[in-house]
Amino acid sequence: MSKSSPTSRSGRFASGPAADVAKFTESISFDWRLWRHDIMGSIAHAAMLHKIGVLTKGELAQISKGLEDIGQEIADGNFEWKEELEDVHMNIESELTKRVPAGAKLHTGRSRNDQVALDVRMWLRNEILELSGELRDLQMAMVELGAKNVDVIIPGYTHLQRAQPVYFAHHLLAYVEMFDRDHARLIDCFQRVNVCPLGSGAIAGSTLPLNREFVAKQLGFVDHNDKPLVTQNSMDAVSDRDFALEFCSVAAITAMHLSRLAEDVILWASSEFHFIKIADAYTTGSSLMPQKKNPDIAELTRGKTGRVYGNLVALLTLLKGLPMTYNRDLQEDKERLFDTTDTIRTTVRIVGAMLENTSVNKTACATAASDPALLATDLADYLVRKGMAFRQAHHAVGAVVALAEKENKPLNQLSLKELQSVDKIFGKDALDVFNLQKAMAQRNLVGAPGTNEVKRQLARWKKLLK
């Protein structure tokens, strides 16, 4: 049987937890990661306890120094975490109390219920800021890859069938838009993470005159006007994990975008497409087939989506049946949240690095983009310009395509006579439609893959992201 914990079982319990119980209920094996924020939170709480007269100046100094020393030892890898002390909160407090008698006053007006909510919020705040920068870097890597290949045209696909020509950069910028929405969601989510729950106690606040706003300010829970942001209902505050759930759902959408990008990269890197070449350092080989160079980063990116979705569903399920307020079930939130942040952050970084180490095979792209069928819609627009109703034009061009197929010729090799056999309206200038450069120059609607518009969009993103 393990030694009883001095902080959670003293008094009420005659014995410590059975060894299997300690193993089953511990969270120190994963929540140790919250140590930095646990210490920051405790120092702010102690400063507040001094402010309201619970701690003397000397006691506050001892507690702060004790916590800082412990922090240093943890950072140096010299701190011994104890499973029988359950979690990061009790490990740190118990060690502090061993060293500093005033440590016994630190938990005044506080419960692990509001403490853990505080720690996770502070930890997540930091992760969000890091991820936000990493998303920006990924966007920039895509903009730069597009800018480096600004003249490259590829077929755009619908149903994975060739549809219409687009600039390679336009295709990349589609993802830049997606990651921008992810970024906006992330920043929005931050607002709900950035609210201080400390002072909610176990469930019902405290009878002591705690200064919640002071703690909030100390820990950076403030709005743009430096006004402290504190939770407004103690019961909600200790049992709410919406902020974590929200982050996991933002991450799930980001993972979905990364997975779609990965799928495009995998297709593009295949011999069939051959649009891109990923540098050797960012690919892997086969243990059997010597010729293979596999896009494993992209495949794992696609594969990791499953765990990010899984974490979201696990959290939703974890929360759905909980009566008010704190229940130990909530301890299960951390591994899902940690795994989500770790997975999404590493993936965003590695995908950015992979793209920085990817080159475009201009010849293969040009060959694919030279398929005149990609401009069949332009031919219909030509007829519309001549006054034909679009439905009729669509039909006429369909007949032209069928004729070309029958004659076994590319669309742009049909003679004027052959075109006119479909409809007399076709003029000498009809075949000009198949000039790809001209065709691209004409697509100048906002958001279209036109020569000028794509350049404008690249410039817009460069300015926005720098």
Residues tagged active-site: 159, 286
Across-strand partners of 155?
A: 165
Stretch that binds ligand ARG, among 189-197, 243-251, 325-333, 404-412 (CB under 6 A): 325-333
Stretch that binds ligand ARG, among 55-63, 172-180, 328-336, 396-404 (CB under 6 A): 328-336
Closest to ligand ARG by CB, 67 or 238: 238
What is the smallest separation between the CB atom of 9 and ligand ARG, expressed in angstroms?
11
Closest to ligand ARG by CB, 301 or 341: 341
Considering only residues 87, 240, 246, 378, which one is a binding residue for ligand ARG as defined by CB under 6 A? Answer: 87
Considering only residues 12, 159, 328, 463, which one is a binding residue for ligand ARG as defined by CB under 6 A? Answer: 328
Closest to ligand ARG by CB, 116 or 143: 116
Considering only residues 7, 27, 149, 341, which one is a binding residue for ligand ARG as defined by CB under 6 A? Answer: 27
Considering only residues 22, 116, 166, 265, which one is a binding residue for ligand ARG as defined by CB under 6 A? Answer: 116
Closest to ligand ARG by CB, 328 or 424: 328
Task: Report phi then psi at 252, rounded to 5.
Answer: -65, -40
Closest to ligand ARG by CB, 314 or 354: 314
What is the smallest separation between the CB atom of 327 and ligand ARG, expressed in angstroms?
9
Q: Does 330 bind ligand ARG (CB under 6 A)?
A: yes
Stretch that binds ligand ARG, among 108-116, 244-252, 393-401, 456-464 (CB under 6 A): 108-116
The angle formed by the CA atoms of residues 34, 58 and 105, to the nearest 5 degrees, is 50
Cα(358)–Cα(276) distance, rounded to whole angstroms?
7
What is the smallest separation between the CB atom of 326 and ligand ARG, expressed in angstroms?
6
Stretch that binds ligand ARG, among 99-107, 109-117, 167-175, 218-226 (CB under 6 A): 109-117
Give Cα 426 to chain centroid, integer Å: 51
Characterise 446 by phi-psi region: left (phi > 0), alpha (psi -120 to 50), beta (else). beta
Considering only residues 45, 50, 112, 304, which one is a binding residue for ligand ARG as defined by CB under 6 A? Answer: 112
What is the smallest separation between the CB atom of 5 and ligand ARG, expressed in angstroms?
11
Closest to ligand ARG by CB, 113 or 341: 113
Stretch that binds ligand ARG, among 171-179, 309-317, 323-331, 437-445 (CB under 6 A): 323-331
Q: Does 139 bind ligand ARG (CB under 6 A)?
A: no
Q: Does 48 bind ligand ARG (CB under 6 A)?
A: no
Q: How many residues bind ligand ARG (CB under 6 A)?
A: 10
Q: Does 331 bind ligand ARG (CB under 6 A)?
A: yes
* Residue showing tokens 């293969």: 364
Q: Does 198 bind ligand ARG (CB under 6 A)?
A: no
Cα(237)–Cα(192) distance, rounded to whole angstroms?
12
What is the smallest separation between the CB atom of 268 and ligand ARG, expressed in angstroms?
44
- Residues contributing to the site for ligand ARG (CB under 6 A): 27, 31, 87, 112-113, 116, 326, 328, 330-331
